Copies of this chain bind each other. A is one copy, B any other.
Amino acid sequence: MQEYTYIMLLERPVIAINLKTYSESLGENAIEIAKAIEQIQTDQTPKYNPIIAPQAVDIRLLAKQTKINIFAQHAEAFDYGRNTGYNIVKSMKDAGAKGLIINHSEHKIELNKIEDVITAAKKEKMYVICCADTINQARAVACFEPDFVAIEPPELIGTDTSIAKEDPDLIKKIVKKIRFIQYNARILIGAGIKTRNDVDICVKNGANGVLLASGVVKAKNISAVLFELFG
């Protein structure tokens, strides 16, 4: 299996899988998902670079058992200290996370915290996927120059409607509008993405990858979905 290096993370299109707090992606199940991807990607130069975002309790073990880049699903910018019960950037890194998802539509944060967490992550040389519901929110978070801006139109979340199939021109428009703010922004498309064809359309239209969740984790046959996505 190839090494998933930092350079890959930034130079190839990305398929990021948010494991959320589903039971199907907890503990051993998270490891199985990672292992399955590794076995599929035997090629030295796979087209899509995988990212997996497990629950905080799974980061340390997963980071030991896979070379796939692990991202935390959220973190606070707090320094080490008296922050009982919080997941902080520095501890996520210590556990093996290479990056963070922040401001997910299920875990919205204040504007100033977005800046603080991105700043804290950069100090730790960690990558940040900053989520946004709308084009204007995506432009706003691009002002802080996260490594990735993920846009999930909320009207598409959890539906069978794929932005890729329905409206590929919208992807072009999203990409253009965000890059007007941050010319080198790496943009992930979320919500409604399920098939490899969807991913290919996103990338063909200028995006740098996709952010998936239930399409993988809640699939009847996870292996088959992973094989389609990464094969």
Chain A interface (Cβ < 8 Å from any Cβ of B)? 18, 20-23, 26-27, 55-61, 72-75, 78, 80-88, 90-92, 94-95, 101, 103-115, 132-134, 136-137, 139-141, 143-144, 158, 181, 213-214
Contact A141–B111 (Cβ < 8 Å): yes
Contact A91–B26 (Cβ < 8 Å): yes
Interface pairs (14), CB distance under 8 Å: A18-B84, A20-B82, A21-B82, A23-B90, A58-B60, A73-B85, A74-B84, A84-B101, A85-B104, A108-B111, A108-B113, A112-B133, A115-B134, A136-B143
How far, in whole Å, are A107 and B95 apart by their CA atoms in the complex? 22
Contact B57–A94 (Cβ < 8 Å): yes
Cβ of A85: which chain B residues have Cβ within 8 Å of it? 72-75, 87, 101, 104, 106-107
How far, in whole Å, are A61 and B20 apart by their CA atoms in the complex? 20
Contact A143–B133 (Cβ < 8 Å): no
Residue of B22, B61, B78, B113 near A21 (CB, 8 A) is B78
Cβ of A22: which chain B residues have Cβ within 8 Å of it? 80-82
With A56-B56, A87-B56 known as contacts, the answer to whether A115 contacts B143 (CB < 8 A) is: no
How far, in whole Å, are A57 and B72 apart by their CA atoms in the complex? 10
With A27-B60, A111-B137 known as contacts, the answer to whether A21 contacts B143 (CB < 8 A) is: no
The residue of chain B having its C-beta at the shortest distance from the C-beta of A59 within the complex is: B57
